[in-house]
Amino acid sequence: MQIPVLGVDPSFRNWGLARGMLDLETGILSGLDLKLGETKPDGTKQVRQNSKDMQAAEDITTGVIDWFKEAKVIFVEVPVGSQSANGMKSYGVCVGILGALRALGHEIIEVTPIENKVALSGIKTASKDVMI
């Protein structure tokens, strides 16, 4: 039996998405399709920053929601906190969108960056280049 699954690596500016069909008997993933949901900073001064941030959050959600609807199970590398204000803003937007999608009934399984690195490379400190 095969089920549609989705892998998600969220951030405020770039949401990485990978979907495919997972064979539950063999564990083999097939039909892999990739998508990058992007938002661009708006440097204009005519609009308040919080309005720009809310628009970016809406753009992210609009760009990814159809892929969430198609998946039976979603694996998400949930971001962790940050020591900068912009990092925490990104964290808050990502966790807020993920929480809203979970509240809508999407099955989300949280994974950590280290779990992903070990599963894909066998090295818990693998670089981004190794992971790509």
Alpha carbon distance 114, 79 (integer Å): 12
Alpha carbon distance 111, 59 (integer Å): 24
Once rounded to an integer, what is the mean pLDDT over residues 12-29?
94
Say what percent of the chain tops pLDDT 90.
Answer: 59
pLDDT tens, position by position, 87-101 = 898 899 999 999 999
Instruction: Give the residue, 24 or 81, on which the prediction is more confident.
Output: 24
Which residues span the domain enclosing 8?
2-131
Domain count, the chain: 1
* Helical H segments across the chain, by residue range: 49-70, 85-103, 113-121, 128-131
Tell which residue, 80, 77, 57, has the closest CA to residue 117: 77
Once rounded to an integer, what is the mean pLDDT over residues 25-42?
91
CATH number for the domain that contains residue 57: 3.30.420.10
Question: Do 17 and 23 meet the contact criterion of CB atoms below 8 Å apart?
Answer: no
Residue 42 has pLDDT above 80, yes or no: no
